[in-house]
Amino acid sequence: MELAAEPVIYQKLLPWEPSLELEEEEEEEETSEVLVLNPWRHQDSSRNKAGGLPGTWARVVAALLLLAVGCSLAVRQLQNQGSSTGSLGSVAPPPGGHSHGPGVYHHGAIISPAATCSHLGRELLVAGGNVVDAGVGAALCLAVVHPHATGLGATFWGLFHDSSSGNSTALTSGPAQTLAPGLGLPTALPTLHLLHTRFGRLPWPRLLVGPTTLAQEGFLVDTALARALAARGTEGLCPLLCHADGTPLDAGARATNPQLAAVLRRAALAPTSDLAGDALLRLLAGDLGLEVPSARPRPTLEPAQQLPVPQGILFTTPSPSAGPELLALLEAALHSGAPIPDPCPPFLQTAVSPESSALAAVDSSGSVLLLTSSLNCSFGSAHLSPSTGVLLSNLVAKSTASAWACPLILRGSLDDTEADVLGLVASGTPDVARAMTHTILRHLAAGPPTQAQHQHQGQQEPTQHPSTCGQGTLLQVAAHTEHAHVSSVPHDCCPFQGF
């Protein structure tokens, strides 16, 4: 909290002299005034005795005391300013307040596959941004540091729940379109720009500062990217992700992408969603010797699909995502009354897991953003554009049924502004809809957490039995009793940050 910009009232300090004791009460009204800290100001020494030496020392002591008080106030103001911008680490509880264990926060939180991007999302929250600012900023960060799973060439789906209005909105990238055979047309920048324009709070350029800096100055290859490089090989990925001898970068190595940084700087200046991706498209077309396509898919924001259940209302994304399939599976399971299958049903042996990325942001009021994106397979088409540093996807017309995308939000009641909100988003599993169905059915059967369970949320997940089917990742966020909760399955797969 900023200190009020008001003058500070100090009491003049006078040297003690017996002759002044009788005058003290008479002069009490005159000794309080607004003082400017100026030790060089000329002072009246008519009261000093014996050559003025005691008065001189008194003025020195007074000046030192005023200087000490001024420094103390300055330090306090800096501390208050620092608390408003925050650090990347954990935040100490306020004096006289209470604290929680990992994953439970008083204000807001974000969880993503990369620690760097979760940190960046938290910075945007602390800077006054909302969950959309944090989520979009983290998504752009992942486009830099996780090029195997997402990027500016990826397709995005999103689900945003606004606690103030009670509305849930679905974000789509539009129908898939090819830029060239086997190369998907990139839509990430206009899609994320549209979401931010409608619901964001911070200026659009502020969200691109962190990702641009990472691309320009470098980022450390994390375990997930190093593992993907080792499995995929470096064909088509050099020199971006290779050592000088052509071997893949190891975990801990530093990678830079100055061409991508230049694209992000241009995107920061785009006034509209349509223009956000124009510079990228022109450069890509130039790399491929093509004309810039005149007809392009347009991202949309539309009301989310919904399904009423006894515990509230479920929201998800429309077709061609897996959202409608998810709601159909849930509706059939709830009407049948059959017990929840445990363990999970086996997947088809022919199912292939698409490479995808997911993140989630939540605040204590119940606003939630879920984002999921994909290049269709690891490193997408493996076509690295030399003038943009962007990897294009191979998510084209034949793969428009986005079985990897079905973010889900459960709101306890539309009429209750303080109702609990739960958000789930999965990635990396070949049948997300079935995995999510299993998870939400377990949550609905368990019922809301009790107060005693809430007091132990530092050691437990927001739902009593969080789980997912297959080898994928499940991110879970919740707003409960004016706190934000984040967790994941596996529990250590995705770093989270909050304040």
DSSP assignment of 251-299 equals: TT-EE--HHHHHHHHHHHT-SSHHHHTHHHHHHHHHHHT-PPPSS----
> 54 burial class (0-12, 13-18, 19+ CB within 10 angstroms)?
middle
Please, which pLDDT band fits residue 448 given cuts at 50, 70 and 90? low
pLDDT digits (tens, 9 = 90+) for 158-213: 999 999 999 999 999 888 888 888 899 999 999 999 999 999 999 999 999 999 99
Pick 400 or 113 by higher pLDDT. 113
For residue 481, give every residue at least 6 positions away whose Cβ sits within 8 Å of its Cβ, in sequence order, or none. Answer: 454
Instruction: Give me the residue label for tokens 């990472």.
Output: 214
pLDDT surpasses 50 at 46: no
Query: What is the per-residue pLDDT for 253?
Result: 97
Query: What is the per-residue pLDDT for 218?
Result: 97
* One-letter identity of residue 3: L
For residue 470, give every residue at least 6 positions away whose Cβ sits within 8 Å of its Cβ, in sequence order, or none. Answer: 344, 347, 353, 429, 430, 431, 435
End-to-end C-alpha distance for the chain, whole angstroms: 15
What whole-number distance in Å separates Cα of residue 480 and Cα of residue 437? 22
Please, which pLDDT band fits residue 435 given cuts at 50, 70 and 90? confident
Please give the structure tokens belonging to residue 25. 């009460």
Angle at 274 between CA 136 and CA 288, to 5 degrees: 95
Please, which pLDDT band fits residue 9 given cuts at 50, 70 and 90? very low
Please, which pLDDT band fits residue 473 given cuts at 50, 70 and 90? confident
Q: What is the mean pLDDT of residues 215-238?
A: 94
Cβ–Cβ under 8 Å, residues 456 and 477: no
What whole-number distance in Å separates Cα of residue 426 and Cα of residue 496? 15
Q: What is the mean pLDDT of residues 89-96?
A: 42
Query: What is the per-residue pLDDT for 454?
Result: 44
**Selection from 353, 354, 355 nearest residue 149 by Cα:** 355
pLDDT surpasses 50 at 2: no
Query: What is the per-residue pLDDT for 161?
Result: 97
3-state secondary structure of 457: coil
Report the predicted TM-score, pTM, of the whole model to 2 decimal places: 0.77
pLDDT surpasses 70 at 297: yes
pLDDT surpasses 70 at 56: no
